[in-house]
Structure 1
């Protein structure tokens, strides 16, 4: 058995997301050999001294079969200890786990369990089944059902989507009409759509690592300041036994194996946390790392087939930030160049909400190459603050799933076609 404390050769499944970029920093600080594959030649991971090699791969969104064949060829040509799915590639790898696990360490649950929480509608049904708290939720399949069943204010969500894609805040009839137009134009009513009552409260997130249904590591943090698209620009670790109990119940019921994260609303008028979303992976694990628990290292050990002892509780009150998210968020809220310069000054000086906070996405002192995307983002925003939305959309790229790629992966003949197709032969006519 490989010792996870020794240097491992780790293959990371993408380099475009903030979660993947933070995992790379943690892996690099632990001394592991890190290689990354991604369809974008200019992904965030290219700007890290911790990445030993980058592999250009087919896009998950348009060619999931091609991506799987690419990974299989890579594993056949050289040795890796662990395949680390840091984003939606886990959906593909869970489907094809029997093809991958003989060659590499990989911690993922059964595909049926993965599907149950990957879909927002599926996760909502699971919460109902387990009697766990969520905002009042209705699942609809048409514009008529949504219009008839909606209460103001609500949050409307497509069942598939990540990084705040496919989310509308509907406070009045005008908001509803805009949401209906977007949903019908994009064909999203071909799948399920959720309407949840909009609850006023604090956004919090929790991350965990399981081994065969047993919770081994848990961490929670709350949003101090929002970036663009509702993501966290500044966060602070918290102790949340009630959320931990919910996550533990979900993982035990599904026999979860690997990483699992949830989004939560802490209502202003109640002490009961309401679960609103689930991600079958580690989401931005650096705050946990700075709070004293290494969930990435724990996930490596589970990936290698080990059964580690549960980690101690993380420290509360640890504040971290993502400078790029903070600047994008400021610009997206109609911030002027003067506002952006002031925000840069506060970040650099550690003033205001940044007092005592540590940079988690682009830790320039630890990884000088990470200064490149931070400097480029800052320069572009200072040149034109309205460009923030366009820059943020760059993260919603070919490394993510959509309805079409999900349908391909879920199809009964997906793996059979892979086995019978000749190398280089396309499935599509």
Structure 2
């Protein structure tokens, strides 16, 4: 019965999003109930490169918004009825989202908190988190190997311990301090896992999360209310009801796209250490001990100015844009990047097995735009070229095939030179005594021409 109910809710939410464009529909379903089956490699890359990949799968945030939507109804019930109704709601949501580790963590925490309040024994957040970990690990010991579970636990512990103290110390208006503190603390708390998993944290993550996370919460709340209603109705009424959600989803997609295209680098351990030292200097500058020391006011002011300059210098060093290294880089078995002395960037594409890995490799190499993409024959090469084109906007996409796919120009026997890189083709004989065109790319040193 429970699985039938969960599947019915899943089908209703999916039907309610039929008016969305395909990319926005898959993103909407990921934001509301963690259904990431239709999301493209390009979408996954953009959200990962902008530090928003946690939005593509449901998390504890979704549980919080679900309970917020249900709160007006739950308040009308007795305490015991609130615990029962809230528990049933959490069970259904966990089934709809296919039991994601982060959802299980949040659902168990919420259930323990509800039971604690109903029994009159209010427990601290850390104690509830500890009890949640024990319950889940005892139920499924293999959860300790789940990346989602590790990230969820680290982020929750960090928020419980550090979010409010940091918000009190940050400058600026109150409406900005707490969201900024939550974003920074979540990134710091999950940094050890992310460094081991991806090598670092995108520098664009902080502004991207500030712009996208509150909107994602609105999408979630609209999804479990208006989205369900739209799924029960027919177009055009359902389409009109979903207009706000569609606009919000497009905003989140835009933030992810711009974040992935920004020149900000991946913050590796060294850069994170520099940022940590910069924050420490700022905290020391505003510390009570410095204000209470017996030094003259002029000396105190000079120290504050010096501390501010040192912090800004460390910040600039940590987040300075990366540039691609001159030379030849084999990104995958079937993709090679050529960077000339004068800034020319040429990508030669073969039969790429995973376009997501290719996009990540280009981004990690400091590539944010390309001059020429040379595509060899084959459907995989063409598919990868289309995603590369959407992300890096090359000036020219050239095809070696006799019949060029749409959007690509045949290179034929012509030669292209850009930023110290020369691109051409040459005839090559095969074992069957036939000939075919093969790519030829060469670095021209300081010969800079376009």
- Per the TM superposition, whether the score is higher than 0.5 is no
Normalising to structure 2: TM-score of the pair?
0.25
- Structure with bigger helix share is 2
**Structure showing greater Rg:** 2
TM-score using structure 1 length? 0.26
Comparing both chains, which one has the higher relative contact order based on Cα–Cα distances under 8 Å and sequence gaps of 6 or more? 1
